[in-house]
Amino acid sequence: MKVPSSALKVTLAGCDMASPIVLAAGTCGYLDEMSVALDLSRIGAVTTKSITPLARDGNAPMRVFDVKGGMVNAVGLANMGVDRFLASKREAIATLPTTVIGSIAGFSVDDYVAVAGAFESIEGMPIVEMNVSCPNCDNGRLASSSVETLREHVAAVRSVLKTTKLFVKLPPNTDSLVHLAAGAIDAGADGLTFVNTLEVMSIDVRTRKSRLGRPRKGMSGPGIHPLAVRLVNDVSRHVARDAGIPIIGLGGVLDWRDAAEMILAGATAVGVGTGLFVDPSCPRRINKGLARWVRSQGCSSIGELVGAFEE
């Protein structure tokens, strides 16, 4: 299939990408697992699972279930830890035919700095994404609990990155996203990614207890899409656009129209997460639809449509 067209090429914080479509952290395996369903050279970027300094089991299973309008998960940052990750994936990172975004997570400044420092030293990972917005662990959102705390964490990670670009992944559960975004930019972020999952509850009415262990967990999928579009528009217009900071917009993108909305709202690139659970090959369809849309809008490049929403 002859997609994506050159009309889909974008540059994200200096990285040239074949398409604006980014596979979202935690939804596409550690790195290259989606290559069984997709030609990764046609995808803009793959985001790794969020990696912490030490291995984590995450929360007890079951960790995922369907709700009306999407899915809820309580994975809890299960991962093999940075040393094993790099020992097993270093070569694949250097040779993957797409941009690799390394997602890092932690529970203290030192955690983030340790993983960022390890990622800085390897070949083939031009972007690090700080996940400061995991709703599924105690303290998973500590780093974004206030603008001051976020600035401190971002500045510390920024100081250990030399050539690697730094994106900060923000939560939707806040009435101060614009302020958090401004703080992250001020502390040295080269880009912003949002939204992470929406913190929700779901109760088993028979047992009167929480479905999936933890009372609070993260919702993703179509039900959060209109909120994500609104937040991308707000942050783009109030802080990111004037600062020249690109946004990876995500939340409930299942088809090309959802992706196009994100672009019009101000996203340079568009993440797909839950969509991969519905159909792992959906990025191919999204690319195809976006290429047609760009032509139908009389444009030669999708970049012309970034932030082109008319209020």
Ligand X SMILES: Cc1cc2nc3c(=O)[nH]c(=O)nc-3n(C[C@H](O)[C@H](O)[C@H](O)COP(=O)(O)O)c2cc1C
- Catalytic (active-site) positions: 134
Contact of 66 with 48, CB cutoff 8 Å: no
Which span sits near ligand X by CB under 6 A: 19-27, 140-148, 200-208, 295-303? 19-27
Helices 282-296 & 256-265 angle (0-180, nearest 10): 60
Q: Quick check: 272 binds ligand X (CB under 6 A)?
A: yes
Cα 53 → chain centroid = 20
Which span sits near ligand X by CB under 6 A: 69-77, 151-159, 179-187, 208-216? 69-77
Q: Which two tokens stand for residue 45?
A: 């970027």
- Judged by CB under 6 A, the residue of 231, 232, 245, 253 near ligand X is 253
Min dist CB 101 to ligand X, Å, is: 10
Min dist CB 196 to ligand X, Å, is: 4
The one-letter amino acid code at 119 reads: F
Q: Quick check: 275 binds ligand X (CB under 6 A)?
A: yes
Q: Which two tokens stand for residue 175?
A: 């009435």
Q: Report helix, strand and coil shares of the chain as percent, to nearest 5.
A: 40, 20, 40
Nearer Cβ to ligand X (193/236): 193
- Judged by CB under 6 A, the residue of 39, 55, 58, 64 near ligand X is 64
Min dist CB 309 to ligand X, Å, is: 20
CA distances from 13 to 101, 124, 159, 226, 283 (A): 12, 15, 18, 26, 21
Nearer Cβ to ligand X (5/119): 119
Which residue shows structure tokens 């009415």? 205
Interatomic CA distance for residues 129 and 111, integer angstroms: 14
Q: Which residues bind ligand X (CB under 6 A)?
A: 24-27, 49-50, 64, 71, 73, 75, 77, 103, 131, 169, 196-197, 220-221, 224, 250-253, 272-275
